[in-house]
């Protein structure tokens, strides 16, 4: 009996009588290395393959004849007479079976939609959407020009500068990155909704689209200042105070504009609540980037490097791939922390409002101080350090998790609690 269940990167086949495995070969070659094990039935029992040597030759022939272009793969015969087929992600996408491209959806294999197919074509030709020639070649750049003059001190925006920024070429003209930075374009932009005490109470809605993404960012920050900044008088001085760190909001919006998928006809959604702001951008993680790498700020893969370079030169971002680290740093000495939700087709960043009073009781404050000194602790360690009963310890730990102040890591007896 095999304990490991089928997953996105693992599939079991009882035998080679059906050719449906070729769809999975296409999926792995298109989207990431995976394995198909032949000789295991649906209940996970190893039954092996009779004459595995000859069946390996059959597998080779089927793959070489049916998948175009032929992907890189490896076949291994195991001691229990099962055959492991490892398919490697290829460079010459899309990899087609009967003229169709496939992907894995959890433990099943499905045909890709047209939009995803087009992305595979671009990836296979080593191109990105922002590099494609813009359908509109009558572009103006007043906002970009103003910002480049202000930040970089140029005298005027010339065609040579546009070439240096990789927004224009003599051969192809303006690309999609240029269109996104142009004063007017046909792209969706940023949709901001400000809610009252419930999601049924919409106080205000503004949509910034068909204009330069530089203008979209500027207008978003203006709305942020309007509702999340107030003035406080200290002595003889008037001081501006942010309910949410402005640096965190700037980074989150810039992150959404630089890393989103622009071929999706959907807006970046900014939802403003009394206690938080949520920024949701279309498109999941870039291919080849894991969730842990994203959350740890190890973003070496930029989805839109041309736009990212312009944002860097204009000092909208400080360094490629450090947005998440900078958002976290903005909350460094604050009890509440940002949250990140990663989905297959979108990424959401949640920025909580900073409160002067988190309504913590004495037991909660004491536990926070202990975790601050210790780093991370098991529940038993917390019980001993606080001298509290088990039920009270669990109640306080869960309460601090709900308040987004601490987090739980691990499972079972290895579970530990630490400050976010």
Q: Is the domain defined by 190-352 classed in CATH 3.20.20.80?
A: no
- The CATH number of domain 10-124 is 3.40.50.1100: no
Task: State the Cα angle at 29 between 25 and 32, rounded to 5°.
Answer: 110
How far is Cα 164 from Cα 173, in angstroms, rounded to an integer?
A: 13
CATH 3.40.50.620 fits 362-419, yes or no: no
Least confident of 193-207, 268-282, 346-360: 346-360
For 90-156, the DSSP string reads PSSPPPEETTEEEEEETTEEEEPPHHHHHHHHHHHTT--GGGSBPS------HHHHHHHHHHH--SS
Q: Indicate if the pLDDT at residue 397 is higher than 90.
A: no
Lowest mean pLDDT of 97-106, 199-208, 286-295, 332-341, name the range. Answer: 286-295
Per-residue pLDDT for 387 more than 90? no
In the chain, domain spans: 10-124, 190-352, 362-419
Is residue 302 pLDDT above 90, yes or no?
A: no
- Show the tokens assigned to 159: 């065609």
Mean local confidence (pLDDT), 327-346: 87
**Spatial CB neighbours of 49, under 8 Å, sequence gap ≥ 6:** 15, 16, 38, 39, 55, 81, 82, 83
Put residue 297 in one of left, alpha, beta given phi > 0 → left and psi -120 to 50 → alpha.
Answer: left
Q: Report the SS3 class of residue 8.
A: coil
Nearest to 353 by CA among 337, 329, 365: 337
Calculate the dihedral angle through the C-alpha atoms of 97, 102, 106, 108, rounding to the nearest 10 degrees. -40
Mean pLDDT rounded to a whole number for the chain = 90
pLDDT, position 2: 65
How confident is the model at residue 236, as a pLDDT?
Answer: 76
Task: Note the pLDDT of residue 22.
Answer: 97
**Among the ranges 119-123, 271-275, 351-355, 369-373, which has the highest mean pLDDT value?**
271-275
pLDDT above 70 (res 346): yes
Question: What torsion, rounded to 10 degrees, do the Cα atoms 254, 130, 106, 84 define?
Answer: -130
Q: How much is the average pLDDT of 289-306?
A: 78
The CA distance from 176 to 307, in Å, is 10
- Confirm whether 10-124 and 190-352 share one CATH topology: no
Q: Could you tell me which of 123, 51, 63 has the C-alpha nearest to residue 92?
A: 123
Please give the average per-residue pLDDT across 96-101, as a whole number.
Answer: 96
Cβ atoms within 10 Å, residue 333: 6
Q: Chain-centre distance of CA 190, in angstroms?
A: 17
pLDDT at 298: 67
Residue-wise pLDDT for 178-197, tens only, equals 999 999 999 999 999 999 98
pLDDT band at 393 (very low <50, low <70, confident <90, very high): confident
Is residue 356's pLDDT more than 70? no
Q: Answer yes or no: are the C-beta atoms of 265 and 209 closer than 8 Å.
A: no
pLDDT at 216: 97
Percentage of residues in the chain having pLDDT higher than 70? 96
Contact (CB, 8 A) for 350 and 331: no
How confident is the model over 377-395, as a mean pLDDT? 85
Whole-number CA gyration radius for the chain:
27
Q: What is the average per-residue pLDDT within 396-412?
A: 83
Partners of residue 100 on adjacent β-strands? 97
Q: pLDDT at position 1, please?
A: 59
Place of tokens 């987090």: 407
Between 215 and 355, whose confidence is greater? 215
Q: Cα torsion for 384, 389, 390, 392, to the nearest 10°?
A: -120
Is the pLDDT score of 107 beyond 70?
yes
Are 325 and 297 contacting, i.e. CB atoms less than 8 angstroms apart? yes
Question: Whole-prediction pTM value?
Answer: 0.74
So what's the pLDDT on residue 148? Answer: 96
Q: Please, which pLDDT band fits residue 320 given cuts at 50, 70 and 90?
A: low
Of 5-19, 36-50, 286-300, the least confident = 286-300
């Amino acid at each position: 009996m095999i304990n490991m269940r089928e997953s996105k990167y693992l599939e079991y086949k009882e035998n080679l009588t059906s050719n449906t495995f070729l769809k999975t070969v296409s999926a792995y070659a298109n989207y990431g290395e995976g394995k198909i094990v032949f000789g295991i039935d649906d209940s996970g029992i190893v039954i092996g393959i009779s004459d595995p040597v000859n069946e390996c030759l059959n597998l080779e022939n089927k793959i070489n004849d049916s998948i175009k272009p032929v992907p890189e793969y490896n076949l291994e015969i195991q001691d229990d007479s099962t055959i492991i087929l490892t398919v490697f992600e290829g460079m010459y996408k899309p990899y087609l079976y009967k003229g169709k491209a496939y992907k894995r959806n959890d433990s099943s294999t499905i045909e890709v939609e047209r939009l995803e197919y087009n992305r595979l074509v671009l990836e296979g030709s080593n191109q990105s959407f922002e590099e494609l020639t813009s359908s509109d070649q009558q572009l103006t750049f007043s906002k970009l020009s103003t910002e480049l003059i202000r930040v970089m001190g140029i005298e005027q925006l010339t065609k040579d500068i546009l070439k240096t920024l990789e927004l224009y070429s003599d051969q192809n003209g303006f690309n999609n990155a240029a269109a996104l930075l142009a004063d007017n374009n046909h792209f969706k932009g940023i949709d901001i909704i400000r809610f009252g005490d419930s999601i049924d109470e919409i106080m205000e809605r503004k949509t910034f689209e068909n204009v330069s993404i530089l203008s979209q960012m500027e207008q978003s920050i203006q709305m942020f200042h309007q509702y999340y900044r107030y003035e406080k008088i200290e002595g003889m001085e008037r001081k501006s105070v942010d309910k949410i760190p402005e640096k965190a909001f700037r980074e989150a919006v810039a992150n959404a504009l630089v890393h989103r998928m622009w071929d999706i006809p959907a807006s970046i959604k900014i939802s403003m609540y009394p206690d938080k702001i949520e920024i949701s951008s279309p498109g999941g993680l870039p291919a080849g980037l894991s969730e842990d790498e994203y959350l740890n700020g190890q973003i070496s893969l930029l989805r839109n490097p041309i736009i990212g370079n312009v944002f860097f030169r204009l000092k909208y971002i400080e360094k490629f791939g450090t947005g998440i680290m900078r958002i976290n740093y903005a909350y460094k000495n604050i009890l509440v922390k940002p949250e990140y939700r990663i989905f297959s087709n979108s990424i959401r960043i949640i920025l909580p409002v900073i409160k002067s009073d988190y309504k913590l009781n004495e037991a909660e404050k004491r536990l926070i101080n202990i975790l601050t000194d210790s780093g991370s602790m098991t529940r038993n360690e917390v019980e001993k350090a606080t001298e509290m009963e088990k039920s009270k310890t669990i109640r306080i730990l869960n309460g601090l998790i709900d308040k987004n102040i601490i987090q739980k890591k691990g499972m079972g007896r290895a579970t530990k609690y630490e400050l976010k």
